[in-house]
């Protein structure tokens, strides 16, 4: 893989990563707050999020910001490893990054669906 193509691919990966993270974090925060408002904080199945909901919006936002920073740091490390990978192994490593982004999108949609189930049905899908 040429260096120019690699840089284009990395730019595309960052774009998809941003979309996936937006879906995962923003939509999750909105639906989590709504579910807690409708059914109470005790309906939250994640104890860390339940704790943050009990402490208020600043605690919840801080917890989510910390999660974003950690996931972004991990993704940055993956991208830098891709850059450092020998050219003949870059394509398989790039597939790994694509799977990671796909998993983020899937988790974002699954969390959204679960939060909607809590709001509408009054219980988690898990």
Task: For residue range 18-70, list pLDDT tens digits in order.
Answer: 999 988 899 999 999 999 999 999 888 889 999 999 999 999 999 999 999 99
Domain span at residue 27?
Answer: 3-121
In a domain, 72, yes or no: yes
Cα→Cα distances 73→47, 76, 80, 116, Å: 24, 5, 10, 29
- Please report which residue ranges of the chain form alpha helices under DSSP H: 3-22, 28-39, 47-55, 57-84, 87-121
pLDDT band at 123; cut points 50, 70, 90: confident
Average pLDDT value for residue range 77-100: 95
In a domain, 31, yes or no: yes
Q: Exposed e or buried b for every residue in 73-92, given b needs 16+ CB within 10 A?
A: eebeebbeebeebeeeebee
Q: What is the pTM of this model?
A: 0.86
Query: How many structural domains compose the chain?
Result: 1
Rounded to 10 deg, the angle between the 28-39 and 47-55 helix axes is: 70
In a domain, 126, yes or no: no
In a domain, 13, yes or no: yes
User: Has residue 1 got a pLDDT over 80?
Assistant: no
In a domain, 34, yes or no: yes
Cα→Cα distances 81→34, 75, 76, 87, Å: 39, 10, 9, 12
């Amino acid at each position: 893989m040429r260096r120019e193509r690699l840089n284009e691919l990395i730019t595309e990966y960052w774009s998809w990563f941003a979309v996936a993270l937006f879906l995962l974090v923003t939509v999750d925060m909105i639906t989590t707050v709504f579910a807690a408002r409708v059914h109470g904080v005790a309906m939250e199945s994640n104890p860390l999020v339940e704790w943050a909901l009990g402490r208020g919006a600043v605690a919840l936002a801080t917890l989510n910001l910390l999660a974003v920073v950690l996931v972004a740091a991990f993704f940055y490390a993956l991208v830098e490893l891709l850059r450092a990978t020998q050219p003949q192994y870059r394509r398989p490593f790039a597939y790994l990054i694509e799977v990671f982004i796909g998993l983020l999108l899937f988790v974002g949609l699954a969390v959204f669906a679960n939060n909607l189930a809590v709001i509408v049905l009054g219980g988690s899908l898990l």
